Structure 1
Amino acid sequence: MRTTSSSWALAIVHALEAEGIDCQALFAELGLSYAALHDPDARFPQDGMTRLWQRAVELSGNPAIGLNMVKVVRPASFNVVGYALMSSRTLKDGFARLVRYQRIIAEGADLSFRVLPDRYVLTLAIHGDSLPPTHQAAEASLAYTLTFVRWITGRPIRPLRVQLQGDAPADQQPYQVVFDAPLRFNAEGYALEFARADLEAPLPSANEALAQLHDRFAGDYLARFAGSRVTHQVRQILCRLLPQGEPKREVVAQELLLSERTLQRRLQEEGASFQQLLDDTRRELAGQYMAQPSLTLLEIAYLLGFADPSNFFRAFRRWFDCTPGEFRARG
Structure 2
Amino acid sequence: MAQVDKCKLPQAFWRAVEQIGVPPAALLRQARLPATLHLGGQSYLTTAQYFVLLRALADLSGDPALGVRMVREADTAVHPPSSLAAFYARDYRDGLTRLARFKQLCTPEQLQVVEAGGECSISANWPFAVEPEPAISVDVTFATLVELGRRATGKTIAPRRVEFTRTGPVSATHAEYFGCPIRAGASRDVLVLDAEDLDRPFPGHNPEMLEMLTPALTAALGELEAQSSIAEQVKVVLKRSLASGQPGLNDVARQLGMSDRTLQRRITEEGSTFRDLLAEARRDLGRRLLTDPATDIAEVACLLGYQDTTSFYRAFREWEGMPPNRWREMHLPRRAVGVGLH
TM-score of Structure 1 vs Structure 2, range by shorter chain: 0.5 to 0.7
* Structure 1 equivalent of residue 183 of structure 2: 184
Q: Deviations over 1:48-89 (max 9, x none)?
A: 222222222332333332222234434466522222211211
Q: State the distance in 2 between where 1:203 and 1:101 align.
A: 19
Name 2:266's counterpart in structure 1: 252
Distance in structure 2 (CA, Å) of the matches to 1:77 and 1:226: 26
Residues 246 and 253 of structure 1, relative CA distance in 2, 3 Å threshold: closer
User: How far apart in 2 are the matches of 1:233 and 1:54?
Assistant: 27
Q: Does 2:71 correspond to 1:70? A: yes
Aligned residue in 1 for 2:33: 31
Deviation per CA, 1:98-144: give whole Å up to 9, x if none. Answer: 2222311211x221111113122222234664554311111122123
Q: Which runs of 5+ in 1 are unaligned?
A: 272-331
* Structure 1 residues 174 and 211: alpha-carbon distance in aligned structure 2, compared to 1, 3 A threshold: same
Supply the AA of the counterpart residue of 1:257. Answer: G
Query: C-alpha separation between the residues in 1 aligned to 2:190 and 2:211?
Result: 28
Could you give the per-residue CA deviations for residues 13-35 of structure 1, whole angstroms, max 9, x where no partner exists? 44443432112332255324656
| Pairing 1:296-307 to 2, within 5 Å after superposition | none
Distance 1:211 1:268 in 2: 43
Match of 1:57 in 2: 58
> CA 1:246–1:256 in structure 2 vs 1: closer, same or farther (change >3 Å)?
same
1:219 aligns with 2:218: yes
| Distance change (3 Å), C-alpha of 1:143 and 1:253 | same
Instruction: Give, in angstroms, the shift of residue 213 of structure 1.
Output: 2.8
1: distance between equivalents of 2:86 and 2:231?
A: 23
Q: Give the 3 Å change call, closer, same or farther, for CA 33–242 of structure 1 in structure 2.
A: same
Match of 1:196 in 2: 195
Give the structure 2 partner of residue 99 of structure 1: 100
Task: Kindly name which structure, 1 or 2, has the bigger radius of gyration based on alpha carbons.
Answer: 2
Correspondence 1:3 to 2:2 = no
> Counterpart amino acid of 2:155?
R
Q: Which amino acid is 2:200 matched to?
A: A
Amino acid at match of 1:260: F
Q: Please state how far the C-alpha of 1:203 moved relative to its aligned partner.
A: 0.8
- Which consecutive unaligned segments of at least 5 residues does structure 2 have? 235-252, 286-342
Query: Would the aligned equivalents of 1:104 and 1:221 in 2 still touch at CA under 8 Å?
Result: yes
TM-score when normalising by structure 2:
0.65
What is the deviation of 1:45? Answer: 2.1
The answer on whether the counterparts of 1:162 and 1:191 sit within 8 Å (CA) in structure 2 is yes
The sequence identity of aligned pairs, in percent, is 19
Residue matched to 2:120: 120
> Residue 46 of structure 1 contacts residue 129 of structure 1 at CA under 8 Å; is this kept in 2?
yes
Can you list the C-alpha shifts for 1:308-331, whole angstroms capped at 9, x where unaligned? Answer: xxxxxxxxxxxxxxxxxxxxxxxx
CA change 1:132–1:193 in 2 (3 A) is closer
- 1:273-292 matches, within 5 Å, as none
Q: For the structure 1 residues 135 and 36, does the alpha-carbon distance in structure 2 shift closer, same or farther, using more than 3 Å as the test?
A: same
CA RMSD, aligned part only?
Answer: 3.3
- 1:253 offset after TM fit, Å? 0.7
Is the 8 Å Cα contact of residues 152 and 204 (structure 1) preserved in structure 2? yes
Give the counterpart letter for 1:201 in structure 2: R
Q: Aligned pair in 2 of structure 1 residues 54, 92: CA closer, same or farther (>3 Å)?
A: same
Task: Assess if the C-alpha contact under 8 Å between 2:162 and 2:180 holds in 1.
Answer: yes
Equivalent-residue separation in structure 1 for 2:282 and 2:212 (angstroms)? 34
Greater displacement, 67-76 / 29-38: 29-38
Structure 2 counterpart of 1:250, which letter?
A: Q
Change (3 A) 1:217 1:258: same
* Deviation digits for residues 194-250 of structure 1 (CA, Å, limit 9, x no counterpart): 222321122112123322332212112222233221259869xx79x978x543643
- Report what 2:173 is aligned to: 174
- Size of the aligned set, in residue pairs, is 262
Match of 1:136 in 2: 136
With over 3 angstroms needed to count, the CA separation of the structure-2 counterparts of 1:139 and 1:58, relative to structure 1, is: same
CA distance in structure 1 between the aligned counterparts of 2:96 and 2:103, rounded to whole angstroms: 10
3-state SS of paired residue (2:180): coil
Counterpart residue type for residue 259 of structure 1: T
Bigger CA drift: 90-99 or 70-79?
70-79
Aligned-partner residue type, residue 7 of structure 2: T
Task: Name the aligned partner's letter for residue 58 of structure 1.
Answer: D
Q: Report if the CA contact (8 A) 2:120-2:193 is conserved.
A: yes
CA distance in 2, matches of 1:242, 1:64: 37
Q: CA deviation at 1:269?
A: 9.5
User: CA 1:89–1:18 in structure 2 vs 1: closer, same or farther (change >3 Å)?
Assistant: same
